[in-house]
Amino acid sequence: MVYSSRLIEHFRNPRNAGMMRNPDATGEGEYDKCGDLARFYLRVRDGRVVDVRFQTYGCGPTIAVASAGSELATGRPLDDLLRLDRDEVEQAVDGLPEERKHAADVVADAIRAAARDYVRRRV
């Protein structure tokens, strides 16, 4: 398998990893076939994500994509995250081999779930 230099950099130096105290929202994504899991925590101010943290369990690409996904989410309007798709997440690491594309699904699902959680908590 060939991975991009951007993916390798995120894997070696993940950004925003760890828990968040008192998040405004949390969400999870999972890939049942291998057990990969990502959990995202969001802090939102005035409808925009101001801080993101993540925890993940899984293969190297899932860790790297979670790191890149946390950067994608930071600073964005919450409405954008409700529509975030796997292709945008995958492009944040300059693509994934076919057998690792599930990493983008896991992360996109987790970020969308966190955005939905925020909306649910505010109703």
Cα–Cα dist 83/72, whole Å? 13
**48 token code pair:** 């925009």
What is the structure's pLDDT at 49?
98
pLDDT band at 123 (very low <50, low <70, confident <90, very high): confident
Q: What is the pTM of this model?
A: 0.95
What is the structure's pLDDT at 52?
98
pLDDT band at 85 (very low <50, low <70, confident <90, very high): very high
What is the structure's pLDDT at 86?
95
Residue-range domain boundaries for the chain: 5-122
- In tens, the pLDDT along 10-34 reads 999 999 999 999 999 999 999 988 8
**Length, in residues, of the chain:** 123
The architecture that CATH gives domain 5-122 is: Alpha-Beta Complex (3.90)
- In tens, the pLDDT along 36-48 reads 999 999 999 999 9
Angle in degrees, 0-180, between the axes of helices 60-73 and 5-12, rounded to the nearest 10: 90
